A and B are shown apart, each in its own frame.
Chain A
């Protein structure tokens, strides 16, 4: 049974990957200029013609798609106009910086949002719940990049206590304190919307659990509130929250691109924005595919963890 579930999730992941490749291929194919956009404009006419032949412009569309897909499956994501290295290598040099930023943000979002959401659910319509409601409404309404600019004006320009951007101060590359100082503002900006969303879900999920019969039974048999919340409510309430955390990822990656741009953080998102601005077609295509594969892989991992949290899932 559990085996069937795992196979099903795996097949879904493959379907999503197939859809991503169809979408990306269609974008390249339908764009004005077509696949020749992927050829470096600095090349001579015969060289461009050579690349177009390799892409198989003269062949039927399905054949072109298969050719393109096999090329990508071999790990060949093309060559950027701007960078001398292959696209995959270029992405790999920037990836760790994005992972630090997004990872720390996700961790902090969960650590803040889950306890606050649980607390709100236990004491609904209390003072804290009401103010958290207002705060989270503002968090999902404020433009990420504007929040970043305001924080830079406040902490870097006016108070001068935090750096306005970058990953480290010159000469202090090995100082942990300096690195952490550079992380504070970007992580704050990137976590804001995620905290609001995870908190809302935790709250409504926990409120649902608190209404269940088994909670009443547990109370009736004399369990203390603390044990009840830890043993029965928390575990059951967290199951849907895991899904939401998985769904956070696409937004986290997009938000990371904006955040990295504001704070001059040398990550993959900023690389994508720079590629888009300088019309580096092969690079932006490569990043889109790379991010899609990464997100699908992450969601697959979340799906695989799921049965460990909720043993009922494999039995369906």
Chain B
């Protein structure tokens, strides 16, 4: 008994004095929905990226004798309007949606953190210029600019990632600027400056790391929005181009068969909803776990 008490006390103490990261992990663990979402996401990524290795179907094999077939051994989720296997297309479509979402957010993180970081750190005219620019971009109706850009430049995956990234960094830039404004006034920053550190090293090594939690939380929520944007563009026909599958363009195919094969419209939409919901819940969980005011 005694030893049990002893060890749990030690553990408690270690946990209390544990690193910031371990505290965040522990607090995140208490957020039950967020943990469930994390598991769901791991399953979804495995489904999309590992699933195709276990399937013998060809995603683009058209089988006109076998259109809109129901569930069978060969086609676990049936076939679509061209007789293609729905299961394998859901997996490959998932690869596209998840990859576009992830890379678009990485790109918007780079832009958002650079703009917000420079504005908040240097202040003065740099700040005015960058933040007015951010306000301006925020007021531009992104959807039509994206539509316009994809029409003129073509809808390659790279272009889709770039346009989604370029139209989604503004919120992050504002947040990062706000945080850097407060961090740069901390005493330790002044100390580093007094020791003769260069501006660039202060910003990169001492100030920016403080913003990492904000970046992670916003990145997670951003993936949710990027996936929604990609799927909407692909649904409209200006995003991922057939015959390549994406959850969005599968839905636009299904649109014409709502009467005889409504299930075709159910699966891809469910997967988008599940993925986006999971990213949003994880983002909320991370926000609570990293928020110092909620200690």
**Interface residue ranges, A against B (CB under 8 Å):** 12, 15-16, 19-20, 23-24, 27-28, 30-32, 37, 137-138, 140-146, 149-150, 152-153, 157, 164, 247, 249-251, 253-255, 257-258, 261-262, 272-273, 275-277, 279, 281, 284-285, 287-288, 291-292, 295-296, 299
Asked if B29 is at the interface (CB within 8 A of a chain A CB), the reply is: no
B198 CB, nearest partner CB in chain A, Å? 33
Can you show 22 pairs from A to B with CB atoms below 8 A apart?
A: A16-B139, A23-B145, A24-B148, A27-B149, A27-B153, A138-B277, A140-B280, A142-B273, A142-B276, A143-B235, A143-B251, A143-B269, A143-B273, A145-B231, A145-B251, A146-B272, A149-B258, A157-B262, A247-B138, A273-B237, A288-B148, A292-B144
- Having A153-B258, A295-B141, one finds 7 other A-B pairs with CB under 8 Å, namely A27-B145, A31-B153, A138-B277, A143-B231, A145-B231, A146-B265, A149-B269
A288-B144 contact given A141-B280, A142-B273, A157-B259, CB 8 Å threshold: yes
Q: Lowest 7 CB-CB distances: which A-B pairs, in order?
A: A254-B143, A146-B269, A31-B152, A250-B141, A141-B276, A141-B277, A288-B144
**Which residue of the partner chain B has the closest CB to A29?**
B152
A136 CB, nearest partner CB in chain B, Å? 11
A16-B258 contact given A141-B224, A272-B147, CB 8 Å threshold: no
A26 CB, nearest partner CB in chain B, Å? 10
B94 CB, nearest partner CB in chain A, Å? 14
Report Cα–Cα, A152/B265, bound state, in Å.
11
Which of B148, B149, B150 has the largest number of chain A CB atoms within 10 A? Answer: B148
Report Cα–Cα, A253/B139, bound state, in Å.
12
A255 partner residues in chain B, CB cutoff 8 A: 143
Asked if B113 is at the interface (CB within 8 A of a chain A CB), the reply is: no
A175 CB, nearest partner CB in chain B, Å? 26
Contact indicator B132/A261 (Cβ below 8 Å): no
A257-B143 contact given A141-B277, A149-B251, CB 8 Å threshold: yes
Report Cα–Cα, A20/B148, bound state, in Å.
12
A257 partner residues in chain B, CB cutoff 8 A: 143-144, 147, 236
**Interface residue ranges, B against A (CB under 8 Å):** 132-133, 135-145, 147-154, 224, 228, 231-232, 235-238, 248, 251, 254-255, 258-259, 262, 265, 268-269, 272-273, 276-277, 280-281
A299 partner residues in chain B, CB cutoff 8 A: 139
B254 partner residues in chain A, CB cutoff 8 A: 149
A164 partner residues in chain B, CB cutoff 8 A: 258
Contact indicator B139/A150 (Cβ below 8 Å): no
Report Cα–Cα, A143/B141, bound state, in Å.
19
Report Cα–Cα, A20/B136, bound state, in Å.
8
Contact indicator B152/A27 (Cβ below 8 Å): yes
A157 partner residues in chain B, CB cutoff 8 A: 258-259, 262
Report Cα–Cα, A28/B149, bound state, in Å.
8
Task: Select one of A23, A152, A261, A281 contacting B151, CB under 8 A.
Answer: A281
A141 partner residues in chain B, CB cutoff 8 A: 224, 228, 273, 276-277, 280
A184 CB, nearest partner CB in chain B, Å? 18
Contact indicator A149/B255 (Cβ below 8 Å): yes
Report Cα–Cα, A276/B235, bound state, in Å.
13
B133 partner residues in chain A, CB cutoff 8 A: 19
A16-B136 contact given A149-B251, A253-B144, CB 8 Å threshold: yes
A15 partner residues in chain B, CB cutoff 8 A: 132, 136
Contact indicator B145/A137 (Cβ below 8 Å): no
Contact indicator B236/A261 (Cβ below 8 Å): yes
Which of A12, A142, A143, A249 has the largest number of chain B CB atoms within 10 A? Answer: A143
Contact indicator B140/A145 (Cβ below 8 Å): no
A24 partner residues in chain B, CB cutoff 8 A: 145, 148
Contact indicator A145/B232 (Cβ below 8 Å): yes
Report Cα–Cα, A252/B138, bound state, in Å.
14
Contact indicator A281/B152 (Cβ below 8 Å): yes
**Which residue of the partner chain A has the closest CB to B259?**
A157
Contact indicator B152/A137 (Cβ below 8 Å): no
Report Cα–Cα, A131/B138, bound state, in Å.
31
A277 partner residues in chain B, CB cutoff 8 A: 236-238
Task: Select one of B140, B152, B265 contacting A37, CB under 8 A.
Answer: B152
Contact indicator A153/B262 (Cβ below 8 Å): yes
Report Cα–Cα, A140/B221, bound state, in Å.
11
A155 CB, nearest partner CB in chain B, Å? 12
Report Cα–Cα, A258/B258, bound state, in Å.
18
**Which residue of the partner chain A has the closest CB to B262?**
A153
Contact indicator A137/B144 (Cβ below 8 Å): no
A16 partner residues in chain B, CB cutoff 8 A: 135-136, 139-140
Contact indicator A250/B143 (Cβ below 8 Å): yes
Report Cα–Cα, A305/B265, bound state, in Å.
44
A284-B147 contact given A16-B139, A141-B276, A149-B265, CB 8 Å threshold: yes
Report Cα–Cα, A140/B238, bound state, in Å.
22
Contact indicator B148/A27 (Cβ below 8 Å): yes
A137-B281 contact given A24-B148, A261-B236, A279-B151, CB 8 Å threshold: yes
**Which residue of the partner chain A has the closest CB to B279?**
A141
**Which residue of the partner chain A has the closest CB to B232?**
A258
B154 partner residues in chain A, CB cutoff 8 A: 32
A253-B141 contact given A261-B236, A276-B147, A288-B147, CB 8 Å threshold: yes
A27 partner residues in chain B, CB cutoff 8 A: 145, 148-149, 152-153
A250-B139 contact given A19-B133, A137-B281, A138-B277, CB 8 Å threshold: yes
Contact indicator A23/B135 (Cβ below 8 Å): no
Report Cα–Cα, A279/B258, bound state, in Å.
28
A19 partner residues in chain B, CB cutoff 8 A: 133, 136-137, 140
